[in-house]
Amino acid sequence: MQKIGFIGLGIMGKPMARNLIKGGYSLVVYDIIQSSMAEVASLGATVASSPSEVATQCKTIITMLPNGPEVKQVVTGKNGILDGMQEGSVIIDMSSIAPLVSKEMYLLCKEKKASFMDAPVSGGEPKAIEGTLAIMVGCDEADFEARLPILKTMGTSVVRTGEIGSGNVTKLVNQVIVALNIAALSEAMVLGTKAGVDPELIFEAIKGGLAGSAVMNAKTPMIINRNFKPGFKIDLHIKDLANALETSHQLGVSMPLTGLMMEIMQALKTDGEGQNDHSAIVHFFEKLAKTEISKK
């Protein structure tokens, strides 16, 4: 039974770790929240006291963390992965972070004769639970082939998008499209609702046409049922858009729609919506129109 380290047992990490255990892997886990580790330990995982201890026990280490600074801290900080890393090890970072951070970590690992892969995911908590995530991977080709069985335990779509950093570039593209999709869905459904048409019937009528999308199918029922329990928080989407805008500025790419979307999300955060699911973007448009989308 292959032993895998897993660091970061949050909304996404916990179900991903569960699926690895179900897939027959032996896990050594670490998180700053003791109760999260205890929950995964109850399924058979071994608990470590630090990222360094995980690295001393496992040559394959998965990280699932909020952002680049947390990845840097876990990898390079006191009692970090590099302190305990063995030659020939690999870090599979499944966090969504800035591509330049992935490249920096890759070079540090290379100095230790180890590897680093950026493998961010899309699908939110529901697909993390199902094990049907879309995984975008930036890494050396040999590393990808060797770890593909592990990744397929957590996702149904696993695509190598190129060398290190390309996975996170692809994730930024994904997050821009998702945010703008939710905004377009929200604005349009507010229009339909204020015009007096049942939003459930609008959804039923258009979901099979050109406007239909995975975003529409996932978020419309949440909006209509007023369910904003986070599968993916607005705060995290703000982080992703910030990384997208930072990257666009470095590359000289103008992203006016993404900039507008960032301001909409910042306004929602100011209104106390940061911990809600990103489907709560609809509240911005409902507030402007003084109309709430709900069941008739």
Q: Which residues are catalytic?
A: 171
* H or E stretch at 205: helix 199-206
Query: Tell me, what amino acid is at 14?
Result: K
How far is residue 295's CA from residue 117's CA, in Å, rounded to a whole number? 45
Cβ atoms 278, 181 nearer than 8 A:
no
Query: Tell me, what amino acid is at 40?
Result: V
* H or E stretch at 130: helix 124-130
Cβ atoms 4, 60 nearer than 8 A:
yes
Cβ atoms 162, 99 nearer than 8 A:
no
Structure tokens at 120: 């961010």
Beta strands 133-138 and 121-122, pairing class: antiparallel
How far is residue 107's CA from residue 194's CA, in Å, rounded to a whole number? 54
Q: HSE, CB side, 13 Å, CA atoms: give it for residue 284.
A: 26
How far is residue 126's CA from residue 124's CA, in Å, rounded to a whole number? 6
Q: How far is CA 231 from CA 10, 211, 296, in A?
A: 11, 23, 25
170-206 burial code (b ≥16 CB/10 A, e <16): bbbebbbebbbbbbbbbbebbebbeeeeebbebbeeb
